[in-house]
A and B are shown apart, each in its own frame.
Chain A
């Protein structure tokens, strides 16, 4: 009989079956997150063209669709980006789901009493924050990519779509957008730092710097993305 304290030879733990190492899943999280973050930065910079007038941003949108023409058919690059992003998103969510389920299994009985934990708010809200961001992305695509949910909804007229979207009467849309962007900020704030840590880029000496870099990137993103709806709301862009 093997008792609790008895141990001889190599023995698989209670889980038995070999699982994909969590560290590997973290790499997937980090790489896919990095892809989406790079896209977000580009997206945010593109958005700022709205401050240079309707023509500027509409032309930019048109250019995006026609890169590589005539050698390549219309929207080739855009579709490549969309496929890569979709793959990254799927990988990101799949890893997150697996890791979350492991986390729940790793603590089957919760603490009866656990006061607010010490890690950052951003770290604690990664999972629900991620879900909110995902729902927002779905809405956002229907709103400003396909135009389905947009009051103006004309392909190519980016400026008009945006102005219609954030019209003062539709304050709830602006509010939802703002909350979602802030959620993205928190997600990036912890996600960027976490990704750097996952790739072993942090050390005792660089930890604080990396934390600060993550914070700066997150703040810049939030400010950049929020500048557009607030400009519309305040009439700066009309």
Chain B
């Protein structure tokens, strides 16, 4: 199949950048979207051009590295699917596809489609953990965890930290990412001692990174390749309210 691509090219953080058109004539519907870019890049290199830079690693939908916006949707049109697992059978011959980087002030463009998502790491560093130094743990069965709580914790913990929620949010908010970690750790008995301080610190870190506020549009949950439910944001709000009204 033949595809027309309009791809955002930007040499560096300070370059202005623009969309440039390319054509790939020998695409195959069993290809993944990233393989399409591989094919294009091979051609570009042999033509003496520089290939399109894009983040990718595991190519099985779990590392969260791939990060582009395809036709206006983070990770493209298929529900619950990362770019690396999106296959060309979801596009039609002759289609024009626009590819842009994740857009957010907190995710500055490094080059082409590569953005810096270090802000997510800093949010986790601000409190997204349970302090359990190595060696200090009691037996795994010392504290049973009711299955519904364990399951909800898991659902929230499935977040891959890709940033699609931010890319989709009209406010550039990372509330879904934040809520997912708050819910994951807050559902577990092990997460209780730090529950209040965690949410306060993480919310502060989130705002300090320059992410916008949530207006509950729900765009994030639609874009999330791991289908993190919107109610994690509700949980985040509830925990924050609890932490700020009952602390001290």
Provide the residues of chain A in CB contact with B6, threshold 8 Å.
Answer: 113
Interface residues of B in 88-117 (CB under 8 A from A): 98, 100, 103-106, 110, 116
- Say what secondary structure dominates the interface of chain B: mixed
Q: Would you call B118 and A103 a contact (CB within 8 A)? A: no
Complex: chain B residue closest to A110, CB-CB = B103
Question: Contacts A7-B118, A123-B217; is A106 near B204 (CB within 8 Å)?
Answer: no
Question: Contacts A23-B240, A107-B172, A197-B234; is A13 near B215 (CB within 8 Å)?
Answer: no
Q: Does B241 contact A (CB under 8 A)?
A: yes
Question: Contacts A99-B215, A103-B212, A126-B215; is A202 near B204 (CB within 8 Å)?
Answer: no
Q: Does A124 contact B (CB under 8 A)?
A: yes
Per-residue B-contact encoding for A22-54, CB less than 8 Å = 1, 0 else: 111111000000000000000000000000000
Question: Contacts A119-B217, A123-B217; is A109 near B207 (CB within 8 Å)?
Answer: no
Provide the residues of chain A in CB contact with B214, threshold 8 Å.
Answer: 22-23, 26
A18 to chain B, nearest CB (A): 7
Q: Does A234 contact B (CB under 8 A)?
A: no
Q: Would you call B204 and A197 a contact (CB within 8 A)? A: no
* CA–CA, A16 and B213, complex, Å: 17
* CA–CA, A197 and B208, complex, Å: 23
Interface residues of B in 107-140 (CB under 8 A from A): 110, 116, 118-119, 121-122, 125-126
Select the stretch in B26-34, B49-57, B190-198, B225-233 that faces chain A.
Answer: B225-233
* CA–CA, A5 and B118, complex, Å: 8
Q: Would you call B207 and A200 a contact (CB within 8 A)? A: no
B79 to chain A, nearest CB (A): 10
Complex: chain A residue closest to B240, CB-CB = A23
Interface residues of B in 183-231 (CB under 8 A from A): 203-219, 222, 229-231
A17 to chain B, nearest CB (A): 8
Q: Would you call B237 and A207 a contact (CB within 8 A)? A: no
* CA–CA, A99 and B209, complex, Å: 15
Q: Would you call B237 and A198 a contact (CB within 8 A)? A: yes
Complex: chain B residue closest to A198, CB-CB = B237
Q: Would you call A114 and B72 a contact (CB within 8 A)? A: yes
Per-residue B-contact encoding for A47-87, CB less than 8 Å = 1, 0 else: 00000000000000000000000000000000000000000
Q: Does A4 contact B (CB under 8 A)?
A: yes
Q: Does A115 contact B (CB under 8 A)?
A: yes
Q: Does B170 contact A (CB under 8 A)?
A: yes
* CA–CA, A199 and B206, complex, Å: 19
Q: Would you call B216 and A7 a contact (CB within 8 A)? A: no
Q: In the complex, given contacts A15-B209, A119-B217, what are 11 additional A-B residue pairs having Cβ atoms less than 8 angstroms apart?
A: A4-B110, A11-B122, A106-B171, A107-B172, A118-B218, A120-B218, A123-B216, A194-B215, A197-B216, A197-B234, A207-B230
Measuring CB to CB, which residues of chain B are less than 8 angstroms from any residue of chain A?
6, 8, 19, 69, 71-73, 98, 100, 103-106, 110, 116, 118-119, 121-122, 125-126, 168, 170-173, 203-219, 222, 229-231, 233-241, 244
Measuring CB to CB, which residues of chain A are less than 8 angstroms from any residue of chain B?
4-5, 7, 10-16, 18-19, 21-27, 99, 102-103, 105-115, 117-120, 123-124, 126, 190, 193-194, 197-204, 207
